[in-house]
Structure 1
């Protein structure tokens, strides 16, 4: 990265288009993204970036400009079939960012009437969620996961908790039977982990197609059945990308939201500037993350329908324009008046016609998962220097690689109600005889949970 003091071309001039692009996929960027955003603001509201080797884009770092793009579907569309460089063969077909940017026939990449039809099916189906039922789902999921490590006294709160909560909750919401749920979990985690992504995508596709066929034959009280029975009349061909985007749009953001909020809470030891006698409430920690450590930092890819000037920056038709939710939230012009800005004015949920349709359920899941953990293990703390925690490199997310923690080991007997009974704390870091079930075999998260739940 160039020095912040190095001169840069003014936005809108020809040199702007040839300025060195800032890579967003390096470990250097992951270590200190805000320093990079500060540098990128020298280009004006839009800056030249590289999302992966050979994949160029423009990044909107200004709050007002970001809102304009998000709320102007007549000028900026989401249909990536308009991606000029991809159509001209300039983008490597094995690029790691293509799964997040290439067109899929679902609401994320559609515009106009088709987008409205597909999105309405999602919002109406989510609207049928009973909040009390969702809370119980999260509580029993959290209880199960905690029971897997509570006797050890140590845990990686990312790999053993934050990344598993959404997987199990989504399987619950979709009414997955054991084997199908295991395959869905394997597929979606494999895609985001980048380990044999092609195989993971094949497994996920096959499992979801089988699940759709099962729910058509045996409807239930679940999100998938509600989608299938929606008046929009989604076909199987439409259901597959709908489900992939619904799961994918929830898994990574939810994992990062839970993990980043736990870091905020545990790094401060439960103390901070929040209300209630200095104790940082879970909702305050989540709000801090949504403002300052967006789970999805840079995304919402748009394509100008024609050459356009955005606050002095020239954007060419068909070139990808991404919104930096993280940079926009930290916009100095916005921060100057932060005291008069609504706590909900952040852009972490997006805005405009493609704003996140599931922010209310997402908040319930995050709050319940975090509260359950802190209630079950009240003395849990980060076991390394919080400043030494590393974030996973990547252009789109703000995600911890690991969050090692320690606590007083607990022997517990999991109850079928989803609560933990007869908890016995063992001081001094001892390891009591295991009373909780053995950790589910890798790749068998869902069937392991179902076996535990059935006693």
Structure 2
């Protein structure tokens, strides 16, 4: 599942597996064996049965026995962290309630207001060129900057957070990037304990669950990881669908909401994940699965189960498993949908003649066992002036909604003198523009 052939055509692999049974043995990465569940009903059984199936990776027998190298590329996505993704029982309930209660304080109006200036900022950076890579110039950066905003990050911390998360997702020195991510999140938590704001970090700190700094850090890592990469892929995959349907269809046929539903059914941004570990040997529809071995849910495979033909034809929102189900179902599906919808609306409205710059069959999909993700999305359009940010400035009148500057972080140690000023990151540049 880590090769280019699987990335190019995963559905053929799912179909072949399903023909042999509800689940099949797979290799997630070199030396990492697992069982992939491709049958819809079997997937629901695993996701909802907390008695026989655990989410805690500390049950992973091969890892405990030293048969998985600690630098294996899938470990960042599978190794234990004390967050609500990798825990069970009362501990999981305590952490999840803190997360869900905090996310529930976000509302659609606020999310749209936060997406609007970030989208304008990013579009302005490439709109005069007439060409762009909508994945890496837009869909990748928008969620990163938005989470800085939702977490209440000041300039310095936000730049480091954006840089370290990008490095982790791109596989660039992941160990160093993880250390930097941990350091900047701990600084953010310390700042928000002193100076709370109207943001998710402060709400988590203030929650009656009384999370420790370590627990807070791990919930923030989970939210960032579970929000940024899937959001990038949801935006990118939906834009690809809309662009391959043509501009006339985009206007008069398929709506953005329909494109998002189509992606969640057919190319869910996280295609294979929700790893469970049987607490005892189990028989899964005739497939023997040993205790303590990874059991991975294929959302992409289960959604394409032939038994769901009627639900697939109607794109029923309640039928697919892209958001999971059971006690670990995604707690942020409503915010995630609004973010994608607002981001896609913004770029289509700004660049109405947007078109793919290469034939769709020449696009590349990023290899990896867990995601369904484009490597790039090259587009062309009529160049337009980069004036969208200016339209949101205070001088634009009462309709403008400038962002208040988040609290400043404590001064960081002086950087080594390189003979030139340090280059500003995306987040500090964005805050400079929208500073009142």
Q: Which runs of 4+ in 1 moved over 6 A?
A: 418-421
Matched position secondary structure for 2:49: coil
| Shift of residue 290, structure 1, vs aligned partner | 0.2
Match of 1:32 in 2: 9
Q: What SS does the aligned partner of 1:450 have?
A: helix
Distance 1:454 1:301 in 2: 43
User: Greater helix percent: which structure?
Assistant: 2
Q: 2:326 aligns with which of 335, 352, 356?
A: 352
Q: Deviations over 1:252-281 (max 9, x none)?
A: 100000000000001111345x9x8x4211
SS at match of 2:51: coil
**Structure 1 residues 443 and 411, CA gap change in structure 2 (3 angstroms):** same
After superposition, where does 1:25-174 map in structure 2 within 5 Å? 25-174=2-151
| C-alpha contact 1:304 1:318 (8 A) present in aligned 2 | yes
Count of matched residue pairs: 410
Conserved in 2, the CA contact under 8 Å of 1:139 and 1:418?
no
Counterpart contact for 2:355–2:380, Cα < 8 Å: yes
What's the offset of the Cα at 1:418?
6.6
RMSD: 1.8
**Are the counterparts in 1 of residues 265 and 315 from structure 2 also a CA contact under 8 Å?**
no
Per the TM alignment, residue 446 of structure 1 is displaced from its structure 2 partner at its CA by 0.5
In 1: Cα distance, 2:219 partner to 2:44 partner: 25
Contact 2:59 2:292 (8 Å CA) reproduced:
yes
**C-alpha distance in structure 2 between counterparts of 1:271 and 1:348, whole Å:** 28
CA shift, 1:199, in A, is 1.4
Q: Is the 2:35–2:295 Cα contact (8 Å) retained in structure 1? A: yes
Q: Relative contact order, CA 8 A, sep 6+: which one is greater?
A: 2
5 Å matches for 1:246-257?
Answer: 246-257=223-234
1:31 touches 1:391 (CA, 8 Å); kept in 2?
yes
CA contact (8 A) 2:281 2:289 kept: yes
1:212-251 equivalence runs, <5 A: 212-251=189-228
Does the alignment pair 1:361 with 2:342? no
- Helix, strand or coil for the counterpart of 2:386? strand
1:301-312, aligned counterparts within 5 Å? 301-312=275-286
2:28–2:369 CA contact under 8 A, matched in 1: yes
- Displacement of 1:342 in angstroms is 2.8
Please give the secondary structure, in 2, of the residue aligned with 1:410.
coil
Aligned twin of 1:417: 392
CA distance in 1, matches of 2:330, 2:277: 19
Alpha-carbon distance in structure 2 between the residues aligned to 1:235 and 1:219: 16
User: Aligned equivalents of 1:266 and 1:193: distance in 2?
Assistant: 25
Question: Any conservation in 1 of the 2:57–2:277 contact (CA below 8 Å)?
Answer: yes
In structure 1, the residue matched to 2:155 is: 178
- CA separation in 2, counterparts of 1:216 and 1:131? 26
Greater shift after overlay, 25-34 or 328-337? 328-337
Distance 2:393 2:352 in 1: 18
Partner Cα separation in structure 1 for residue 266 and residue 423 of structure 2: 33
Paired with 2:121 and 2:394, the residues of 1 have a C-alpha distance of: 9
- The change in CA–CA distance for 1:217 and 1:256 in structure 2 (over 3 A counts) is same
Residue ranges of structure 2 left out of the alignment (5+ in a row) = 397-421
Residue 335 in structure 1 maps to residue 309 in structure 2: yes
TM-score by length of 2: 0.91
Q: Distance in 1 between matches of 2:285 and 2:310?
A: 20
Match of 1:192 in 2: 169
Pick from 241, 244, 267 the counterpart of residue 293 of structure 1: 267
